[in-house]
Amino acid sequence: MNPRPTIHPLRLADAENGVRHVFVRDLIVQAEIGVHRHEKCRGQPVRINIDLTVKEATQPLDDRLENVVDYETLVDGVRALIGAGHINLVETLAEQIAGLALSDNRVVATRVRVEKLQVMKDAESVGVEIERRRPGQEH
């Protein structure tokens, strides 16, 4: 019997290990997403939350955008993913967003939540949350 792997929770900000927390909260976008026929004909509102664990730079920030992970660039990338065409699963969109976030080498880990807001009358939202880490990273 194989022992379960040790699960380390995502440390969003940690001064001792030199990581900061960059986030996007409650981004609402219209997305063509879903597997049902009625979802393939129209867009629907989706709420996206993204948390990044970012390794702090060794050089000073110097109040320069290029010295930090730019959340506007991340949001533009999310909009481009959604604008590329229909996506069947919220899981697929979450994975694509995580991949986008981790494409910046300063990002150590990411947590992505994607919620469809108008699926069930008696639920505010339904969706998925994933956490992905750069291979070999513990923080």
Provide the domain limits for residue 87: 19-133
Whether the per-residue pLDDT at 14 is higher than 90: the answer is: no
Query: Is 86 within a domain?
Result: yes
Maximum Cα–Cα distance for the chain, whole Å?
53
Q: For the segment 26-51, what is each residue's pLDDT rounded down to a tens digit?
A: 999 999 999 988 888 789 999 999 99
- Say what the pTM is: 0.87
Q: Count CB atoms within 10 A of the CB of residue 131.
A: 16
CA gap 63, 110 in Å, rounded: 24
Q: For the segment 80-132, what is each residue's pLDDT rounded down to a tens digit?
A: 999 999 999 999 999 999 999 999 999 999 999 999 998 889 999 999 999 99
CA gap 56, 11 in Å, rounded: 13
Query: Is 118 within a domain?
Result: yes
pLDDT at 13 (0 to 100): 76
Query: Is 2 within a domain?
Result: no
Torsion of CA 56, 134, 103, 14, to 10 degrees: -20
CA gap 119, 3 in Å, rounded: 38
Query: Is 6 within a domain?
Result: no
Total structural domains within the chain: 1
**pLDDT averaged over every residue in the chain:** 87
Query: Is 97 within a domain?
Result: yes
The CATH number of the domain holding residue 80 is: 3.30.1130.10
Query: Is 3 within a domain?
Result: no
If one compares 103 and 8, the residue with the highest pLDDT of the two is 103
Question: What confidence tier does 78 reach under pLDDT thresholds 50, 70, 90?
Answer: very high
